[in-house]
Amino acid sequence: MCGIVGYAGEKKTIPILIDGLKRLEYRGYDSAGLAVISKERRLEVRKSPGRVSELEATLKDMPETGNRIGIAHTRWATHGEPTKENAHPHIDCTGNIALVHNGIIENYEALRTYLEERGHTFISKTDTEVVAHLIEEFLKEKGTTFLDAFIKAIQHIKGSYAIVAISVLEPDTIYASHLSSPLVIGQGEGENFLASDASPFLGKASEVLYPPEDEVVVITKDEIKLFDLNKNKRDPVFEKLEGTLESIQKGSYSHFMLKEIHEQPERIRDAMRGRLLLREGDAKLGGLEPIWGDIVNAKRIIISACGTSWHAGLVGKYMLEEIARVHTDVEYASELRYRNPVFEKGDVLFVISQSGETADTLATLREAKSKGVTVAGIVNTVGSTIAREAGVGVYIHAGPEIGVASTKAFTSQVSILALITLAIGRAKYITQEKGVVIAEAMNALPEKVGRALGAEDEIKSIARDFKNSKNFLYLGRGANFPTALEGALKLKEISYIHAEGYPAAEMKHGPIALIDENMPVVFVAPQDGIYEKVLSNIEEVRARKGKVIAIANEGDDRIKSLADYIIRVPRTLGWLGPIVNVAPLQLLAYYLALERGCPIDQPRNLAKSVTVE
């Protein structure tokens, strides 16, 4: 859950590293640091707790002329507090080696004891520092090259890692390897890059390499070499770098989160483009064709994910069971991987991850594949580990999501699940006539989400009224129960207000004890098949003087006498409702956080890509 940047070239290294760190800061922002090798073959290291801007302020006296390579890191702390000593890069005892790492080294305590017995002195409390000292220790062996020592160190560690090292012994070369943690190589003209994802070299590199796990990449400004752990040379396979610099910039928006909320109509359209067949009333997902027979005939579909992606999967359960009539289980990946789950013949597992690198979700995928389960991925990031290892699946085409609190990825994920639902339903039960009705409703979703986002002024006013609230309750029924969960999660993530999401009918089985005149209660209350039941639940809150904020359909007059505040959204098919109804909940979280002065794009303790357990 850290961001790594590396550069080899003739340009000024430090500005390139800092720019790369800023583009990766959503991956971690507890501390930051960088290391370059000067023309005098001296290792120059700067580190700072806090944001990248705080590191940047320490660089005024750092020599720039002659630097040809450098590495940098922005950290989300796992082992050791976010202090200067624990920030990366870490160096060895000789001061010749600098190293950065993303992941967790599970056997670091044993390695540290081994190294301390051999005279090594440690400065930090991190797991990472042992790797720098391991390389130093192995370099003492006669005839050992840096590549030899780097490979031997990799072979001695257990856990997940992306490790990048430089040394004054080879001042023009960067060494890197990864396992269960992302690493991407960018190839330019007379310069080469590496990073945790491609964003640091968008607009700079033309091609990318996704190196295989447990292999070593050796990078200079002119060359990118690939070796296995036996030092056999491999042929790197490069791909065209997709994406634009504009896609990772805020433009006219004050925050990435606000930009990404407003991008949703177009991103939903992108998710469905070429896949939704209006005339046929059907959907076609080319990435699932190799296993489509297994999906259509599945006795059970299992969806596994974490966080917001789990909420999307829960919406998918309502869709798949109601429309496609297939039994569906939704599992937290962090729990499923440590159970002894019962997989049966005929099961199909979908794993969902925005980054495609989520450690728990990746582990679940591997466990299911090892037991012969048919697996598919639903991911956003092209070339990600889950995308590669699943082998089949669907890209959601949401574009880079920089804000730590996921927004457009959620609606794009649900849109893909809706396409899968329609396609299975058409293959089994749904007539073309009914399929056309569903397809037309799906095709109208981008416009309806755009209309829902038009309630921004009302939402700003609500945020001003409730900015000092300490608790919120979010309630919904049917497919809008996970919508309520997602609304509550967004509020917790970025405003630091405690919030809970519940099925509306469950409120009276406990949470109703919390309701008084100080408790704002957000109801997702569209005019669907259980609308009357939700109105009854609203009455229960009103009887206890709770403040009711209702997400209600345009033209719904009955809600006026029941709600203190109303946010209007267009009506759609009930099981598609979450795609529309979540938009104002995202805006409510955003504007409450804004009123409270919170760091919206980089909330405390969080990171975008959760690559550790």
Strand partners, 475: 502, 523
Is 2 catalytic? The answer is yes
Token output for 40: 């005098």
Burial grade of 286 (CB within 10 A; 0-12, 13-18, 19 or more): exposed
Set 2, 22, 448, 492: catalytic member: 2
Please tell me the distance from the alpha carbon of residue 106 to that of residue 434, in angstroms, as a whole number. 54
Please tell me the distance from the alpha carbon of residue 190 to that of residue 492, in angstroms, as a whole number. 46
Strand partners, 374: 348
Please tell me the distance from the alpha carbon of residue 160 to that of residue 101, in angstroms, as a whole number. 10
- Residue type, position 256, single letter: F
Set 221, 317, 408, 608: catalytic member: 608
Is 608 catalytic? The answer is yes
Helix (H, G, I), strand (E, B) or coil at 46: strand
Token output for 338: 């440590």
Strands ordered across the beta sheet of 547-553: 498-503, 471-476, 520-524, 547-553, 565-569
In contact, 540 and 511? CB cutoff 8 Å: no
In contact, 165 and 151? CB cutoff 8 Å: no
Q: Which DSSP letter does residue 200 get?
A: G
Token output for 498: 């405690």
User: What contacts 460, CB < 8 A, 6 or more positions away?
Assistant: 591
Strand partners, 352: 378
Residues designated as active site = 2, 608
